[in-house]
Amino acid sequence: RYADIPNPGRHVGVLLDASAQHAGRTGREVLALSAATMGLPTSRVDEMLDTVGLARSEAKRRVKNYSLGMRQRLGIASALLGDPSVLILDEPANGLDPAGIRWMRDLLRSYAARGGTVLLSSHLLNEVEQIADDMFLIDRGVIVAGGEKQSLLKSTHSGTLVTATDNAALAQALRDAGVSVAERGDGLSVDAEPLHVGTVAAQSRIVLTDLRPDGGGLEHLFLSLTSEGQRDALPPEPTTVPSEGAHA
């Protein structure tokens, strides 16, 4: 149990709600207090500020004056402070601009590459699809699908979309290889995996300008499994009680 781990912040870093930070303290004070609690040197505070991209001047400001994105970065710094082997993050990209989301993606990839484990929940399905190794889809508290990412997403693929400098030549080469081909927009819809399509194109010396799975990816899978549970709840229709003596 988490409560039984001595000095848990050195083993598990957690970010569940960035807005829960003490609004009256500065960003540096928030990290300094956490560092003192974990027995870490103050130099670790500066290191984490640099890691999450918070300037020294920003660290001197009170948290109540932070934007949501800045609070999110501070929360990530707190989670990383103890150099834990496991990170638990809820909506880690919340409040970040596109550049910040890319930074977050690179940070988590780097952390995992060093041997760390990241458990995250997010509604930004495109980001999850880009960085996750294993995924679980949850509908109203129930796991409806889970496993290795490629295995899960394979079920959403129905072939390959490809465009070449010479679509006619590519279509003929694929048909010669026993593959079904149909025209789709400016390209071709092929009943084969992208790797096979690319191999046939390379062997035929045909240049490809676009090659991708013909499927909806994680978003398509998620909506197909949870569509009933994801509908916006509609408020009940108001009931009008006629006043006494009223006529229809």
In the chain the domains, ranked by start, together with CATH numbers, are 7-122 (3.40.50.300), 156-219 (3.30.70)
Contacts of 78 (CB under 8 A, 6+ apart): 13, 15, 21, 30, 31, 34, 48
Please give the C-alpha separations between residue 211 and each of 20, 46, 93, in angstroms, as whole numbers.
Answer: 45, 44, 29
The alpha-helical segments, DSSP class H, found in 38-182 are 43-52, 56-59, 68-80, 98-113, 125-131, 149-154, 167-176
CA 235 to chain centre: 31
pLDDT band, very low/low/confident/very high, at 72 (cuts 50, 70, 90):
very high
pLDDT band, very low/low/confident/very high, at 46 (cuts 50, 70, 90):
very high
Q: Which two tokens stand for residue 238?
A: 């108001």
Contacts of 20 (CB under 8 A, 6+ apart): none
Buried b (16+ CB within 10 A) or exposed e, 214-244: bbeebeebbeeebeeeeeeeeeeeeeeeeee
pLDDT band, very low/low/confident/very high, at 14 (cuts 50, 70, 90):
very high
Q: Which residue has the higher pLDDT, 66 or 214?
A: 66
Classify strands 208-215 and 157-164 as parallel, antiparallel or unpaired: antiparallel
The CB-based long-range contact list for 209-213 (8 Å cut-off, 24+ gap) reads: 209/163, 209/164, 209/165, 210/161, 210/162, 210/163, 211/160, 211/161, 211/162, 211/163, 212/160, 212/161, 212/162, 213/157, 213/159, 213/160, 213/161
> Mean pLDDT, to the nearest integer, of 64-79?
95
pLDDT of residue 222: 85
Separation CA 11–CA 229 (nearest Å): 35
pTM above 0.75, yes or no: no
Residue 116 per-residue DSSP state: -
Contacts of 203 (CB under 8 A, 6+ apart): 173
pLDDT band, very low/low/confident/very high, at 230 (cuts 50, 70, 90):
low
Averaged pLDDT score across all residues of the chain: 88
Q: Which residue has the higher pLDDT, 231 or 40?
A: 40
H or E element: which one contains 27?
Answer: helix 27-37
pLDDT of residue 206: 97
Q: How confident is the model over 167-206, as pLDDT tens digits? A: 999 999 999 999 999 998 899 999 888 899 999 999 999 9
Q: Which residue has the higher pLDDT, 191 or 247?
A: 191
Please state whether 65 falls in left (phi above 0), alpha (psi between -120 and 50) or beta. Answer: alpha
Within 13 Å, how many C-alpha atoms sit on residue 84's CB side?
28
pLDDT of residue 238: 54
Please check whether residue 65 is in contact with residue 24, taking contact to mean a CB–CB distance below 8 angstroms.
no
